[in-house]
Amino acid sequence: MVDVTNLEKLRTCGRLETYSTARHHLGIYKNVGLTATYTSSAATLTSLETLVFGALRGVLAKHAILGAIPLNEEKSYPDVYFARIPEIDFRTCVEFHQREDPLPRDGETDAELDALLVEQHNRDFKDELGSKPFWRLIILTSTKKPNEFSVSWFFHHALADGTSAFLFHESFLAALNSAAPEADADPIFKSLNTALFPPLEELHSMSISWPFFIKAVLGTILPSIFAKRPMKLWTGNPVPAEIDLAQPIHYRTLVFSAETTSKLAQASRKEKTSVTATLQCLLAASLFASVPAAECEKIKIASPMSMRRFLDGVAEDQITNAITQYGYLHQRLAVTSTDEAAKVEVLQYFSWDEARAVKAEIQTELAKEGWDNPIALLKYVSDMPRFFLEQLGKPRSPTLELSNIGVFRVTKTEMEMPWKIGRMTFSQTPNMTSCPICVNVVTGMDGNAVVNFSWREGAVEMELMEHVLECVSKGVEGLTTDPRP
């Protein structure tokens, strides 16, 4: 067993990073994942293991954070820190499995991947501490197509954010395309002596205005007055009174074909809004269509947003963890049977005006350039594990978290290379002490928008989630179908 106190200390974990280390320590949130399908147009005699190990060498040589692990996770800032593991044995963090069915095609769902997500998002990074990285790769292969496989990268959230997951696959793809047939298959990678980038708080001023600060303080001291919960705000069942690590987690994925995805983007542009705003309003509409009005008049959706563009000294291709977030309170619309959209049940609760309002809210938040960022308030949390433990037994908030990391793109030159990325799926562990429903969205190079839903047993009923999924699917179909004359 490795004595972790002897590992090289790199730097203190920042407040946002400590937010993730505390959750990982308590077991209420394990990891984030981004899966991508890789296909080569050229035959190769190199073994898959040699290809993967060689590509990983290229990725790790570029991103020093992947050789770091957070230690003292049970503590709070400034006692939690990153340490460097001297070497990484790929055989301990890369797994190869064979699929039973072929990889899915345009618009097809992937039940095998959903099953893998259940397994992997329940796994943490605590075993063999100090000898393994806080990430792993799961490779799913197909016997019928040796030049096609999927790569699922699961990682500790303190290491990276959703945008950085794109960067991992960009680096992996570039390394595959630059690898020689005799690529280095040595499974041992010696960590490089490279300094880590500073935490978010040192890359941005994280300034907060007095009104923002005073509102946050008063909401903490007198929540019944200054942070009063809206009437009939639906947030599922309360957080359990105790941490239950055996609590099952469910994953279901909707996949929209390239044609449908393109039509949804066109419809959103035509209505002067964005796909993210459209999906958010459709998710709210699906919940309004699934939960009785007597219980649910309001839905609050929160969404993380990347702060990378506002950081000083961080390259666009550098893995880091830098986010802010916005929140929007949706109100149930009065149903009008004369509305053309009422032909589809869920669209009775959908409004393009609201989709435009959500887009405006996103733009307003981005215009702040990181000012009045809720993440800045984490510096006032002295005991991060206790912060989460105090949520046990209480009502959840918000209703749903929507994270859309966008469309994966490559350059024209990369499009002409042998190895290409197709379908992608973005996923993460639903936080036990937060919202009952977690929705993650990504569009891969195949043009398919993939919407992954996850929820914990007991947070929300299975029957309700089945109806929500059905509503979202029919809602997208309704929004992308040209009305008949």
The sheet with strand 68-71 has its strands ordered as 8-12, 81-84, 68-71
Paired tokens of 245: 């690590």
Instruction: Read off the pLDDT band of 342 (50, 70, 90).
Output: low
User: Rounded to an integer, what is the distance from CA 396 to the centroid of its chain?
Assistant: 19
Instruction: Read off the pLDDT band of 198 (50, 70, 90).
Output: very high
Instruction: Read off the pLDDT band of 183 (50, 70, 90).
Output: low
Instruction: Read off the pLDDT band of 306 (50, 70, 90).
Output: very high
What mean pLDDT is predicted for residues 382-391? 96
Question: Closest Cα to residue 269, out of 439, 474, 485, 480?
Answer: 480
What mean pLDDT is predicted for residues 130-155? 93
CA dihedral 274, 156, 396, 330 (to 10 degrees): 0
What mean pLDDT is predicted for residues 414-433? 94
Residue with tokens 């733009």: 363
How many other C-beta atoms can be found within 10 angstroms of the C-beta atom of residue 423? 26
pLDDT top residue among 350 and 47: 350
Cβ(68)–Cβ(10) under 8 Å?
yes
Cβ(461)–Cβ(424) under 8 Å?
no
Q: What's the whole-number average pLDDT of the chain?
A: 92
Look at residue 484 and tell me whether its pLDDT is greater than 50: no
Cβ(306)–Cβ(373) under 8 Å?
no
| Structure confidence at residue 47 (pLDDT) | 87
Q: What is the pLDDT of residues 201-243, one digit of tens each?
A: 999 988 989 888 887 776 676 565 555 788 999 999 999 999 9
What mean pLDDT is predicted for residues 371-393? 93
* Weakest-pLDDT range from 63-72, 306-315, 362-371, 397-406: 306-315
Q: What values do phi and psi take at 455, rounded to 5?
A: -160, 155
Look at residue 51 and tell me whether its pLDDT is greater than 80: yes
**∠ Cα 447 302 27 (to 5°):** 95
460-463's contacts with Cβ under 8 Å and 24+ in sequence apart are 460/236, 460/237, 460/436, 462/250
* Weakest-pLDDT range from 63-77, 273-287, 324-338: 324-338
- Start-to-end CA distance of the chain, whole Å, equals 72
42-51's contacts with Cβ under 8 Å and 24+ in sequence apart are 42/147, 42/418, 43/147, 44/147, 44/181, 45/181, 46/179, 46/181, 46/182, 46/183, 47/185, 48/96, 48/139, 48/141, 48/146, 48/149, 49/96, 49/185, 50/183, 50/185, 51/176, 51/179, 51/183
E runs forming strands in 4-53: 8-12, 32-40
What mean pLDDT is predicted for residues 57-75? 96
| Structure confidence at residue 341 (pLDDT) | 52
Look at residue 325 and tell me whether its pLDDT is greater than 60: yes
Q: What values do phi and psi take at 128, rounded to 5?
A: 50, 45
Q: Provide, rounded to the nearest whole percent, the portion of the chain with pLDDT above 70.
A: 94
Residue 458 DSSP code:
T
Instruction: Read off the pLDDT band of 165 (50, 70, 90).
Output: very high
**Residue 26, phi-psi category: left (phi > 0), alpha (psi -120 to 50), beta (remainder):** alpha
| Structure confidence at residue 221 (pLDDT) | 61
Whole-prediction pTM? 0.95
- Which range among 82-86, 311-315, 366-370 has the greatest average pLDDT? 82-86
Paired tokens of 220: 């903490």
Q: What is the pLDDT of residues 2-12, one digit of tens each?
A: 899 999 999 99
Look at residue 338 and tell me whether its pLDDT is greater than 50: no
Residue 156 one-letter amino acid: H
Q: What is the pLDDT of residues 100-123, one digit of tens each?
A: 998 999 999 999 999 999 999 999
Q: Which domains does the chain have, with CATH numbers?
A: 8-190 (3.30.559.10), 231-409+436-480 (3.30.559.30)
Instruction: Read off the pLDDT band of 268 (50, 70, 90).
Output: very high
Look at residue 329 and tell me whether its pLDDT is greater than 70: yes
